[in-house]
Structure 1
Amino acid sequence: MIFVGGVPFQAEEPSSSSEGSKILIALMDHPILSAASCTFNSIPERKFSASEGATGERVAACKWVYVFQREYATVDPSLVDLAGTDETTTCVGMIIRNCKSGMTSIAHLDSPSIVDVGLSQMLTSVVDPNSDDILDVHLIGGFDDSSPQHMENTVTSRIKNKGYSFPLCAKIVEVLEKSSKKFHLQTLHVLENNTWKDSEGGAYPIFTGFLVNPSTGSVTPASFDGTSRCPDELVRMNRVTAAYEDPNWNGRLLETYDTKTDRFVIAPCKWTKRQLHIAIMLQSLSDDELLLTCSTSPSAEAPDFVENERRKLAYMIQHPDWKETFPLTQPRVFERTTSGEWKRLTN
C-alpha cells in the first residue's frame, strides 16, 4: 500500500487494464509529491569520486556502495555511509528505507519484468517479518522520453505515447500499491518531474542518479566517476547484458553485495556464444552507430557512454568463456581495505 503525506493513497477509479498507469498519473499530480520533487530539483547534484568526500576530504573512512543497472544492494547504516547509483536515463533508481532500523535497499530498475521479484529481493533484508514497519520510498530517474507529439495531459494520451520510462514507473507504483507492506512515498522525481527541454523541444533528464545516507535517510542527486563505480566494473557491466539470456536471472535483480559482511559478493552470470558474436559486431560499429544501437535514449546519455560500452565489449571479447571470470561457478568476492579500496579475495 502506498502512503503519501502519512495517509493511504487512493487513485480514482483505476481500471484493471491500466491500473498502474492511472495510479502513476494520479501520484504525479499529487501536490505533496509535486512539492517534494520541486525541492529535490533545487538540490545541487553531487559529483561523487573515490578521491573526494562530501566536503572535499579524503574518503578513506567513507564507505559507500554503488550499484549498476539491474543490480540491487541492501546496506546497514552501521557499516555503510552512502549508497547510490546513476545513469538512470530511461531506468529508475529506487530506495526503500526502514525508518526504524535504517536498513536501506537501493536498486537500478531497467525493465517492468524485474519489478515484482526485484521488490521481494530488496525487502528481504529491510523488513522485519514480525513488525509492521513503515518504509520510506524514493523513485528517481526515468525522464519523459515519450513521443514529441504527446502534449495532452490526459490518461489516454499519456499511456499511448509512453516511451520506455512510463511503463516502468507504472509497474513500480502498481506493485507498491498492491503490496501488503506500507510504503511511504517521499520522492517521485520521474517523468516530467525529471525532465528539461531545449529550445527545439528535445527532452533530457535533470538527474540520472542519487546518493542516500542510510543513517539519516537524506537523499541527494548525484553522478559518479569511473573511480567510484566499483569494484569489478567491467564484469558487472557485462553481467547486465548476459542476464537477459541467463535463465538463472530471469525476472530477478542481480546480486552484488552481502549486507552482513560489508563485502561485494558478485554472483556468477553466463554469457553465450551468441552474445560474444554480438559484442564483436557492436565493437566494429562507429561511435554514432554504437550509441544508437545500445542506448534507449541516445541523445540523453553521458559523454562517456560510448567509451564505457567499448570497454565492456572488449572485456567479453577478451574473455569469451564466462567460466574464466567465474571459475567453478563461484562468485567474485571483494572486501574493503583500510585505505577504502576494494581487494578481491581468491576463491
Structure 2
Amino acid sequence: MIYVNGVRFPSDSSSVEGLDMVNALLEHPHLVSASQSFRAVPERKFSVSEESGSQGSAEPTCVYVFQREYAIADPALVEIVGTDEATTCVGIVVRNCKNGMTSIAHMDSPDVVDIGLSQMLSLVPDHDDAILDVLFYILVSLKSFDFSFDGLNLLIKICTAMQVHLVGAFDDSATQVWSNQPLLAFELKDGNDDTRSKQHSEMEGYSFQLCIKIVEKLAESKVNFQIQNFQVLKNNTRWDSEGNANPIFHGLAVETSCGSVVPASFDRSTRCPDEIIRRIRLGASFKDPGCTGRSMDVVHIAMMMRHYSDTEILVVASTSPSAEGPDFVHNHKRIWQYLIQHPDWRETFRSKLPRVFERIASGNWVMTSDR
C-alpha cells in the first residue's frame, strides 16, 4: 500500500490503473514540493582519495550498486549507499525508519521489479511491524473521522515504517528517434486492453513503463510504503535550447544513519569492488546453459564494437543515447577490452566459484573467494 504525507494513496479503494497512479503522484502537491526541495540540494560528488585506508583517513564506508543490482545496508556497518548512471532507470530506496535498515536498487526494466522488490524487502522489515501496523490503522481511522490532535500526522508517518524514494527515469518519450533498438514489449499487469498497453509503450518510452510497474507493485503490497520523493519522469527532466530532454539527476546517495537522500554522482574509485566484472555481468549470457568456456561470439562482437564511433556506440548500447553521462562510451570500451584480453570466463571465475569480497579495516575491499 502507498501513503503520501500520511494519507492512503489513492484515497479511493477501488482499482486504479498504474498509469493513472503515476500521473497523480507526479501532480501530488506534497511530492511536487519534495521534488523542488530535492532539486535545490547541491549534488554530492563521491570520490575515494589516494590517502583512503591510511591512518587519519575519514572516508565514509560506502556501498555502490550498478544497474540491475541491489544492496541492503545496516547503518551500524555502512554509512552511505548509492547509485548513479541512471537515465531511463530508477534508483529506488526503501528504508525502515525504525531500525535504519536501508535497501537500494538500480532497476532498469519492468521485468525485474517483482523479484527486485522482493529481494529488497528480504531483510529490511523487523519483527515488530505487525504491532506497528495495528497502531497505524488506528491512527488512520482517527484521521478519517476528522479526529485530530497535535502530532497525529507525525505519528502516522512514523508508523509507516517503509520510506520510499525514487530518483531517475527522466521523461524519454520524445527521445526514442535517437535509438535504433526496438522498444521492449512491456504490458501493464492489470490492463485489459492490449492495444492501449502497446500504445503506452510506444508513446511513453522506457521510463514511464518502469515507473508504472514499480508504483503498481508498491500499491499491491501489504507493506505500508510512505513515498517521500518521486523525482522521476517530468520531475527529473530538463530541456535544452534545442528541445532535447535530459535527466536533472542521474543518481542518489543515502545516509543510512538518518535516512537523508541527496542527489549524487560517483567516480570510478567509489564504484567498487570489481567494477568491470559487475558491468560485464549485466550483458552476460548467464541464462544460457550452452555458454561454456571461451565464447568466440562475444569476443568477435567486442572486437567489432571497439571500432565503432562514439555516436554508433551510444545508439547501439543505450536506451537514451542523448542523455548518457560523459564516461558512458569509455566504460563500454573498457568492457570490450577486458573481454578481448580474457575470453575464457573460467579465468575470471576460478573453479566456477562466485567472486566474493569483504571490506577490511582500512575500508578497502579484498576478494575472499580465492582463499
TM over 0.5: yes
Displacement of 1:215: 0.9
Letter in 2 for 1:66: Y
Alignment partner of 2:318 out of 275, 290, 295? 295
- Structure 2 unpaired stretches of 5+: 133-160, 177-195
Letter in 1 for 2:35: S
Confirm whether residue 329 of structure 1 aligns to residue 329 of structure 2.
Answer: no
Confirm whether residue 239 of structure 1 aligns to residue 281 of structure 2.
Answer: yes
- 1:46-105 superposed Cα distances (whole Å, 9 cap, x missing partner): 11111299xxxx754510000011110000000001000000011000000001110000
CA distance in 2, matches of 1:161, 1:208: 23
Alignment partner of 2:226 out of 159, 164, 184? 184
Displacement of 1:158: 7.0
- Structure 1 unpaired stretches of 5+: 150-154, 250-268
Identity within the alignment, % = 53
Structure 2 contact 175–320 (Cα < 8 Å) conserved = no
Equivalent residue number for residue 262 of structure 1:
none
Equivalent residue number for residue 3 of structure 2:
3
- 1:141-162 superposed Cα distances (whole Å, 9 cap, x missing partner): 010111269xxxxx99977620
Displacement of 1:120: 0.3
Displacement of 1:136: 0.3
Equivalent residue number for residue 101 of structure 1:
99
Equivalent residue number for residue 171 of structure 2:
144
Relative to its length, the structure with more strand (as a share) is 1
CA distance in 2, matches of 1:2, 1:129: 21
User: Alpha carbons of 1:270 and 1:333: their partners in 2 closer, same or farther (altered >3 Å)?
Assistant: farther
CA distance in 2, matches of 1:148, 1:120: 32
Equivalent residue number for residue 261 of structure 1:
none
SS of equivalent residue, structure 1 residue 290:
helix
Displacement of 1:283: 1.6
Structure showing greater radius of gyration is 2
Letter in 2 for 1:135: M
CA distance in 2, matches of 1:195, 1:14: 31
Letter in 2 for 1:121: Q
User: Alpha carbons of 1:105 and 1:52: their partners in 2 closer, same or farther (altered >3 Å)?
Assistant: farther
CA distance in 1, matches of 2:224, 2:110: 21
User: Alpha carbons of 1:20 and 1:215: their partners in 2 closer, same or farther (altered >3 Å)?
Assistant: same
Displacement of 1:111: 0.5
CA distance in 2, matches of 1:321, 1:241: 16
CA distance in 2, matches of 1:102, 1:67: 18
Bigger drift between 269-278 and 333-342 goes to 269-278
Alignment partner of 1:80 out of 71, 78, 81? 78
Equivalent residue number for residue 255 of structure 2:
213
Pairs within 5 Å for 1:105-144: 105-128=103-126, 131-132=129-130, 134-144=161-171
- 1:106-129 superposed Cα distances (whole Å, 9 cap, x missing partner): 000001000001100000010125
CA distance in 2, matches of 1:113, 1:87: 19
User: Alpha carbons of 1:159 and 1:325: their partners in 2 closer, same or farther (altered >3 Å)?
Assistant: closer
SS of equivalent residue, structure 2 residue 166:
strand
Displacement of 1:198: 0.8
CA distance in 2, matches of 1:248, 1:116: 22
Alignment partner of 1:20 out of 6, 18, 21? 18
Equivalent residue number for residue 36 of structure 1:
34
User: Alpha carbons of 1:30 and 1:144: their partners in 2 closer, same or farther (altered >3 Å)?
Assistant: same
CA distance in 1, matches of 2:264, 2:47: 10
Q: CA RMSD in A?
A: 2.8
User: Alpha carbons of 1:52 and 1:77: their partners in 2 closer, same or farther (altered >3 Å)?
Assistant: farther
CA distance in 2, matches of 1:178, 1:270: 42
Displacement of 1:26: 1.1
User: Alpha carbons of 1:26 and 1:14: their partners in 2 closer, same or farther (altered >3 Å)?
Assistant: farther
Displacement of 1:209: 0.3
Equivalent residue number for residue 264 of structure 1:
none
Displacement of 1:247: 2.6
SS of equivalent residue, structure 1 residue 107:
strand
CA distance in 1, matches of 2:276, 2:111: 24
TM-score (norm 1): 0.84
Structure 1 contact 89–297 (Cα < 8 Å) conserved = yes
Count of residues in Structure 1 that have an aligned counterpart in Structure 2: 316
Pairs within 5 Å for 1:157-172: 161-172=203-214
CA distance in 1, matches of 2:271, 2:317: 20
Bigger drift between 326-335 and 275-284 goes to 275-284
SS of equivalent residue, structure 1 residue 161:
helix
CA distance in 2, matches of 1:166, 1:52: 41
Confirm whether residue 227 of structure 1 aligns to residue 269 of structure 2.
Answer: yes
CA distance in 2, matches of 1:25, 1:12: 15
CA distance in 1, matches of 2:86, 2:22: 18
Letter in 2 for 1:139: L
CA distance in 1, matches of 2:50, 2:255: 16
Letter in 2 for 1:5: N
